[in-house]
Structure 1
Amino acid sequence: MAAQRHYEELARQLDAIGAVRRDLARILPHECPAGSAAVLSLLGRYGEMRMSRLAELLAVDMSVTSRHVAHVADRGWIDRSPDPTDKRSRIVRLTPEGERQLAELSERATELLAQCLSDWSDDEIAQLNLLMSRLRSSFGDCRSASRFSHATEQTTRTPA
């Protein structure tokens, strides 16, 4: 197991990732804010899904998900249709226009990363991808209540 100081430094580095995320958000087209881009990205990655699943993947409340979905639907980037197994639910899916928008977002992000990391070798980029994938995998389902309640308990306990 790594030393405590390594975990502390990792926590600081992960906090700093916010600056990278903000730079990536700045390149989004005006008509496609970050929430909309996240909806398109998830639908591109996982395919059609129920609104409830989308809310879970976004890790936001259903009302926030509904606003994001309304925004992308108004632009014709997704279709919403009744779930055949439960008419109260909606299934959302990318439209061809949504796929084009997602491709543009991906191209913009790829160009920015290529510019900012131009002095990195292919091996370094591959290693970063591998390690980030492994980090994400180690966390599993990040929305697991038991994982976070246990961690919070450990950090918020007061000595007896």
Structure 2
Amino acid sequence: MRRAVITASATAAGVVLLLSLKPHDPSTAPAISSAGADSARNTTQDTGQGTGQNTTQGSGPGSGTGAAAGGATQTVTGSAVNTRYGPVQVKVTVAGGKISKIDVVQYPTRDRRDQEINSSAIPQLNQEALAAQSADIDVVSGATYTSDGYTRSLQSALDQVKK
């Protein structure tokens, strides 16, 4: 009988503690940028609220190879892709027919674990995309959902690049 009372009390205390925990509201997430394979990583403050709008006057979807006309420089924002842990959205700068810079304007930052995973995964994804010059890149182990959202948003941005 005494065990039952102790067990019930401990269970009730555990439930009360769990219910008293409140998730924190993360502040704005920094945008993670990559400007070429040899340059240093740039981090800037962003609101994390991308529009999913093309920032250039593109005439229609391209093949997604990232090639822009001649030496023109274009900056295109891909669509925000919802993942299990939050939206992922990238902004791509294409110069001289090559991807020159990728900014990740939205990515999951709901909790400390999301921030930890994405702080290492996003630079890896940026590096791979710059090396491949396309959205055909490998996923980062441990960041499968972010990797999937990243490649889909990157492909949508590359599809908007004006030929």
TM-score normalised according to structure 1 size: 0.23
Instruction: Answer 1 or 2: which has greater helix percent.
Output: 1
TM-score normalised according to structure 2 size: 0.22
**Greater C-alpha radius of gyration:** 2
- Of the two structures, which has the highest relative contact order with CA contacts closer than 8 Å and spacing of 6 or more? 2
Instruction: Answer 1 or 2: which has greater strand percent.
Output: 2
